[in-house]
Amino acid sequence: MIINILGNTTWGITLAKVLSNGNNQVNLIYRDKEKLSNVQADKYITVKEFKVPKSAKINHINVEDCNFSDNDLLIISVPSPSLEKNLSLIKNKINHNTQIISASKGFDKNGNTLSVLIKNKLNISNENIGVLSGPNLSSEILMGKPATSLLSFNDINKADNFRDIISNEIFRIYSGNDVIGSEIGGSLKNIIAIGCGIIDKMDLGDNAKSAFISRGLREIVRFGTSFNAKEYTFYGLSGIGDLVATCSSNLSRNWQFGYALASGKTLEGFIAENKVTVEGANASKIVNDVALKKGLEMPIIKMTYKVVHENYNPVDAIKEFMSRNPSKERN
């Protein structure tokens, strides 16, 4: 099958490498012509500290030259802030039968999940949009280490079909049909990971970190079920699986940002130094705003938002969280 991947991001290149291991032909689509020229002139694709050997199964093409047929699959892997711009470049190349998988995480500027933005921008049916999400640290996958992920479509049969197409011996895919739950789990875990980076830098210990992750998961469930997501989704790969990986690994960008924040860095400084998007920082503001409007109690999200965007001292945030009124665990 032909798999088109929009986005020569770290995750996009990782997906191109791992999905070309089977019987699939991959088209990696570039928006930046200079980057494309550099890749075409080199023997390797450079991503992070890795030099990925070029493969005959991966074509590198400019977005202006790409076209999608009914039988093609399009995977979108771009940062949430640039998603709308990227979609505008392919809008006239998409037909109503193109099958799309979102491998991006976050929300648009209006607080919508990214599948909603894709649907509205490309004018396609919800039934043709799936979500890929799970504990997928790109550096480990680039090293050839095994990983799993969840692929969700509203139609479970469609999820099963594409699962079988893209799954292989080092990237095992499970199927599901809770698209909104998968998206919310994959987006909110980035916020919790920022807090875990702060906790690790402050050397608050494993007890504090475990509690933070556990209570963070409770807030993810509370937020997700308010959008009619299925609670069990948050106890699977795109929920607690992704949460544990992102909160526990120093390979996680959001964890790295939290660690840097507790070291005195600012959001702007971290982005400028690393030239990356911190999805958890973007999501913290959106989720905090939505939680306030819905009347949802989400103290971890609120504290993380204040530390990231209002320069609230992490020490004071921890004290405030620990001093809250006693409550039942299921609250």
Task: Indicate whether 36 belongs to any domain.
Answer: yes
- Domain match, 269 and 202 both: yes
Neighbours of 44 (CB within 10 A): 11
Task: Indicate whether 329 belongs to any domain.
Answer: no
- Domain match, 139 and 269 both: no
Helices (H), 91-143: 114-122, 138-142
Task: Indicate whether 330 belongs to any domain.
Answer: no
- Domain match, 60 and 172 both: yes
Q: What is the CATH number of the domain that holds 247?
A: 1.10.1040.10
Last residue of a domain, one of 177, 207, 232: 177
Judge whether 174 and 163 are in contact, CB under 8 Å. Answer: yes
| pLDDT tier, 71 (very low <50, low <70, confident <90, very high otherwise) | confident
Q: What is the CATH number of the domain that holds 154?
A: 3.40.50.720
Neighbours of 330 (CB within 10 A): 5
- Domain match, 161 and 302 both: no
- Domain match, 149 and 220 both: no
Percent of the chain, pLDDT > 70? 100
Q: Residue 316 has what pLDDT?
A: 93
Q: Can you tell me the distance from the alpha carbon of 117 to that of 235, in angstroms, rounded to the nearest whole number?
A: 26
Q: Spell out where the chain has E strands.
A: 2-6, 25-30, 44-47, 50-53, 58-62, 73-76, 99-102, 129-133, 147-152, 171-176
Q: Residue 166 has what pLDDT?
A: 94
Confidence check: pLDDT of 259 > 80: yes
189 belongs to the catalytic site: yes
Confidence check: pLDDT of 35 > 90: no
**How is residue 326 annotated by DSSP?**
P
- Domain match, 292 and 159 both: no
- Domain match, 194 and 120 both: no
Q: Can you tell me the distance from the alpha carbon of 66 to that of 63, in angstroms, rounded to the nearest whole number?
A: 5
Q: Residue 330 has what pLDDT?
A: 78
Task: Indicate whether 48 belongs to any domain.
Answer: yes
Last residue of a domain, one of 124, 147, 177: 177
Q: Residue 23 has what pLDDT?
A: 81
Q: Can you tell me the distance from the alpha carbon of 13 to that of 5, in angstroms, rounded to the nearest whole number?
A: 8
Q: CB-based contacts of 211: which residues, under 8 Å, 6+ apart?
A: none
Confidence check: pLDDT of 48 > 80: no
Confidence check: pLDDT of 70 > 80: no
Closest listed residue to residue 128, CA positions, set 67, 72, 185, 168: 72
Catalytic member of 189, 275, 293, 319 = 189
H/E stretch holding 259 reads: helix 253-262
What's the average model confidence in pLDDT over 262-271? 95
Task: Indicate whether 328 belongs to any domain.
Answer: no
Task: Indicate whether 125 belongs to any domain.
Answer: yes
Exposure string of 154-174, with b = 16+ CB inside 10 Å and e = fewer, is beeebbbebbebbbeeebebb
Percent of the chain, pLDDT > 90? 81
- Domain match, 307 and 191 both: yes
Task: Indicate whether 327 belongs to any domain.
Answer: no
Instruction: Report residue 98 as tokens.
Output: 């193109």
- Domain match, 258 and 289 both: yes
- Domain match, 199 and 311 both: yes
- State pLDDT tens for residues 121-178: 999 999 999 999 999 999 999 999 999 999 999 999 999 999 999 999 999 999 999 9
Q: Residue 282 has what pLDDT?
A: 95
- Domain match, 157 and 8 both: yes
Q: Can you tell me the distance from the alpha carbon of 18 to that of 80, in angstroms, rounded to the nearest whole number?
A: 22
Task: Indicate whether 113 belongs to any domain.
Answer: yes
Range of the domain at 76: 2-177
| pLDDT tier, 224 (very low <50, low <70, confident <90, very high otherwise) | very high
What's the structural domain count of the chain?
2
Last residue of a domain, one of 152, 177, 202: 177
- Domain match, 155 and 195 both: no
Q: Can you tell me the distance from the alpha carbon of 186 to that of 106, in angstroms, rounded to the nearest whole number?
A: 8
Q: Residue 228 has what pLDDT?
A: 97
